[in-house]
Amino acid sequence: MKPDEPLPIDAPGCRALRDSNEAQIKEGMEVLSKALELRHDYDDAMAHMNLLYRERAEIQCMIGPVASRISGLLITGWTLL
């Protein structure tokens, strides 16, 4: 696999990678959410939250870049047409 290819759902180690990183991503999102509650215009917190959303989408072990985008949209409350 190339570095820019998504990790397929049945790839060895995909679930282990998700399980090992999921707690840290969740904790980071909680801390950044609190920071954004306290200061709505905190640009650095917004940028880091964006990175965590991307990281969380990457470890969902779905197939293809479209699946990553869809999972991110569903997680943030967007609906698909």
The whole-number average pLDDT for the span 13-35 is: 89
Domains in the chain: boundaries: 14-75
- Other CB atoms within a 10 A radius of the CB of residue 42 amount to 15
pTM of the complete model beyond 0.75: no
Tell how many helices (H) and how many strands (E) occur in the chain.
3, 0
pLDDT band of residue 64 (cuts 50, 70, 90) is low
